[in-house]
Amino acid sequence: MYEKGGKMNKIIKIILIILIIDFVIVVGYFGYKSISKGSSSGASSYEWVEMTESYTPKDHIEDFIMENAIRQDLFPVYIKNYGRDFKILKKFVGKKLYKPSRTEMDFVFPDAKDWHLIELKYKEKKRDRDIKRTILYVQEQGEWKVGDAGGPLE
């Protein structure tokens, strides 16, 4: 009889230890998730840059945007250049892509050598309204072009 009670105590101790370990793992997982949500890898960590006629473009994409703004008389144009940030790309919703992964990018743009995600805002002077959109620029066969366009990320 004494042995039977001893075995029950061991089983109860083992079950309690397993439950405590599970509890610690679950609390640690949700704690990590809540901490990582507040990380600065979001769109708000990028700064708006004002592009005017005197602005010096930093790369081919900004040069492309500047030439387009000159042709359409859109100055000032404000840009957020997210570059190749895959975390930001996962928030992008365009006409062709919905929160794309690397595989989807390769499928939709198989010849793409490079891509950049840029958020733009400017004032349309003819209709007197503010425009804010996100554009995915893709480099195919040595040329940059608009791969997809969508609304603002935030």
Whether residue 42 is predicted with pLDDT greater than 80 in this model: the reply is no
- The predicted pLDDT at position 34 comes to 74
Closest CA relative to residue 54, chosen from 68, 43, 70, 35: 70
7 vs 72, more confident: 72
Sheet hosting strand 129-140, strand order edge to edge: 49-51, 77-83, 112-124, 129-140, 143-150
Radius of gyration of the chain (CA): 26
What's the distance, Cα to Cα, between the start and end of the chain in Å? 68
Reported as a single tens digit per residue, the pLDDT across 93-112 is: 999 999 999 899 999 999 99
- The predicted pLDDT at position 6 comes to 72
Q: Please report, for the chain, the start and end positions of each structural domain, with discontinuous segments joined by +.
A: 1-38, 43-150
Reported as a single tens digit per residue, the pLDDT across 112-153 is: 999 999 999 998 878 888 999 999 999 999 888 999 999 998
CA distance 108 to 111: 9
User: How much of the chain exceeds pLDDT 70, in percent?
Assistant: 93
With tokens 């109860």, the residue in question is: 12
